[in-house]
Structure 1
Amino acid sequence: MTESGEQTLSRIAAALERIAPPPASAADLLAAPAYGWDGLALTQVERIVAPPLALLRGIDRQRATVADNVARHAAGSDAHDMLLWGSRGMGKSALVRASVAAAAGDSGRIALVQAAGDALGSLPALMATLQQSERRFLLFIDDIGFGAGQESEARILRSLLEGGVSPRPGNVRIAVTSNRRAIVARHLSEQDDPINPRDSVDDALALADRFGLSIGFHNCSQDDYLAIIEAYADHYGLTWDVSEALEWSKRRGARSGRVARHFITELAGRAGRALV
């Protein structure tokens, strides 16, 4: 007896179901200190990798501002969305992560949600998920920068900050880092409106204006650079030499928190230590 076409299709479908991986379970919004958003689903992250706030030297004013704002949000008080902009390697991302870790403490009252830069179009769906929880969240978008052809993503972010048809939930605030204060290109040659380029520039700057806090980070002085190294070295029990630290920065052509951290990694490696 030959098998009918319908029976064949049913048998194939059953076989595919047996070999297909099980569907991913929804992330528990109360279980983890941090989550990653790839545009489709949330993934739980078991630990926020960040230095203690006290180790972030050379950015004292910025540290106080960001940490205080995150603590307010964690406590259920009103708080600002934040734009952290400026020099590379000066601790913008580390400060966001460290502030959430400090504000969460043992209670876990706030969690970090990091969204991929190419997932901005899905942020309304993410907001709809996060608003189902009573927990507080800081949505973190790292190293953002909008170029040509990304106007729609910029408008989505602007709408969430300003409160559009689908406003941002009250339990979510947004933190963005960027090397540019305006986030998007400001040169007229980079704009997409050849008829009225001034409107394009104004539209670009309007996005940065939506953040309640705009916090600048600048290249650190030699004293700040050495203070950063001293703080890390004391924390990890490492010995170091000022002249070698300065030579390290000269070879890299910069003084920053990142360069200082790389120097500490070098010292730890020589000493046979693994930094946690």
Structure 2
Amino acid sequence: MTHPNSDIKSAVVSAAASSWSDPAAQALERIATALEKLIPAPPPPVDFDAADAFVWHAATASLQPVKQVNRVEMALLRGIDRLRDLLTDNTERFAKGFAANNALLWGARGMGKSSLVKAAHADINARLKGTPAFLPLKLVEIHREDIDSLPALMGLMREVPYRFLIFCDDLSFDAEDTSYKSLKAVLEGGIEGRPPNVLFYATSNRRHILARQMIDNERSSAINPGEAVEEKVSLSDRFGLWLGFHSCSQEDYLAMISGYVEHLGLEIERDQLEREALEWAITRGARSGRTAWQYIQDLAGRLGRAT
């Protein structure tokens, strides 16, 4: 690919060579070459056929294909049946070209928020594969620190025939961070708006994404506290679908454990399994899907098995 400034460089050097001495023209060429190296080359075109999942790298404005997504099968996500159905239905409507909402999955840590997003993506593609005119839904992960580059990422997708699910895990903003304003504009209200083939899913431990002290500080220091607070919490209003995840019960926790044991074919007495699993949760101070999986990792290792 020809560098965008190579024609300019040639024209400048040619003009100089016709009017200056050879040493001057050579010096000018060296300067032009050095300046050219400081200008980054344009990113290569994206091959969206390379994979069904990508990671966005803002520094190079490029999408890295992910051949194997790190995910849990939908059948292994226990205790979140209603949330699973709501997100899957929303995702399927979008994949089929119908109206759908941006989704915010918020709440207790380790309860399967990001796992559900990845599982829903895989489940939709598997079930709709072979449907006439269906193109695979693409999952694109954007890191929290790259949110400012979201408009550039959406620009790459605007004229592409595929439909994209942009996913940001553990989205939150601290007191000095103002990039949430650009996210608000991109999701709803910007002059271009969100492309019709793009949907945004985010997970967060915070219901309103912003830190609680940010909201409290506005109440205590703003001239009009009500308006200041509204301006900050309105970010979460850009998500039409809110899914709240809460700490699981002991029954759901043990159901997760049993599901993993059955799926992996681990052999252990039920009484021993429940006793060890509950003790594991007590030592961690929490019952969650993540805690259940960590116990299964330990159990499989003790049984000489890989997961």
What TM-score do the two structures reach when normalised by structure 2?
0.81
SS at match of 2:200: strand
2:244 counterpart (216, 220, 224):
216
* Residues in 2 aligned to 1:158 and 1:68: alpha-carbon distance in whole angstroms: 24
1:150-182 C-alpha deviation (Å, 9 max, x unpaired): 22x212211222241021100110001110101
Q: Does 1:27 align with 2:46?
A: yes
Gaps in structure 2 of 5+ consecutive residues? 1-21
Among residues 17, 23, 38, which one is paired with 2:57 in the alignment? 38
Q: Equivalent of 1:176, from 199, 202, 206? A: 202
Give the Å deviation of 1:6. Answer: 4.5
Per mean C-alpha deviation after superposition, the further-off stretch among 104-113 and 255-264 is: 104-113
Specify the code of the residue in structure 2 equivalent to 1:264: I
CA distance in 1, matches of 2:52, 2:206: 29
- State the distance in 2 between where 1:228 and 1:262 align: 11
Question: AA paired with 2:188?
Answer: E
The one of 84, 97, 101 equivalent to 2:118 is 97
1:48 maps onto 2:80 in alignment: no
Q: Is the 8 A contact 2:222 2:228 kept in 1?
A: no
- Residue 85 (structure 1) aligned with residue 100 (structure 2): no
1:113-124 matches, within 5 Å, as 113-124=140-151
Shift of 1:76: 1.3
RMSD: 2.6
Contact kept, 8 Å, 1:30 with 1:135, in 2: the verdict is no
Residue 57 of structure 1: SS of its match in structure 2?
Answer: coil
2:289 aligned partner: 257
Alignment correspondent of 1:167? 193
Q: CA deviation at 1:22?
A: 8.8
Deviations 1:23-50 (A, max 9, x none): 7633212321111112222111112221
Partner residue of 1:7 out of 26, 30, 45? 26
The offset of 1:118, in angstroms, is 0.9
How many Å apart are 1:91 and its aligned residue?
A: 0.2
Structure 1 gap ranges (5+):
none
Alignment partner of 1:109 is 2:136? yes
Q: How big is the shift at 1:190?
A: 3.5
The alignment of Structure 1 onto Structure 2 pairs a total of residues equal to 272
The verdict on how the C-alpha distance between 1:271 and 1:17 changes in structure 2, with shifts beyond 3 A counting, is farther
CA contact (8 A) 2:164 2:199 kept: yes
Q: Is the 8 A contact 1:27 1:44 kept in 2?
A: no
Letter in structure 2 aligned against 1:25: P
Q: TM-score, normalised by structure 1?
A: 0.89
Counterpart CA distance in 2 for 1:79 and 1:210 is 13
Deviation sequence 1:195-223 (CA, Å, 0-9, x none) = 22322211122111121100000000000
**Match of 1:249, as an amino acid?**
A
Distance 2:190 2:294 in 1: 43
The answer on 1:154 being equivalent to 2:184 is no
Q: Distance in 1 between matches of 2:162 and 2:172?
A: 29
What amino acid maps onto 1:59 in structure 2?
Answer: I
C-alpha separation between the residues in 2 aligned to 1:139 and 1:168?
11
Partner of 1:273: 305
Task: Among all aligned residue pairs of Structure 1 and Structure 2, give the percentage whose two residues are the same amino acid.
Answer: 46
- Rounded to whole Å, the distance in 2 between the matches of 1:225 and 1:43 is 36
In 1, Cα distance between the equivalents of 2:293 and 2:31? 56
Q: Which residue of 2 aligns with 1:130?
A: 157
Please say if residues 253 and 289 of structure 2, whose CA atoms lie closer than 8 Å, have aligned partners that are also in contact.
Answer: yes
The answer to whether the Cα contact below 8 Å between 1:115 and 1:139 also exists between their aligned partners in 2 is yes
CA deviation after TM superposition for structure 1 residue 8, in Å: 5.8
Q: Which has the larger radius of gyration?
A: 2
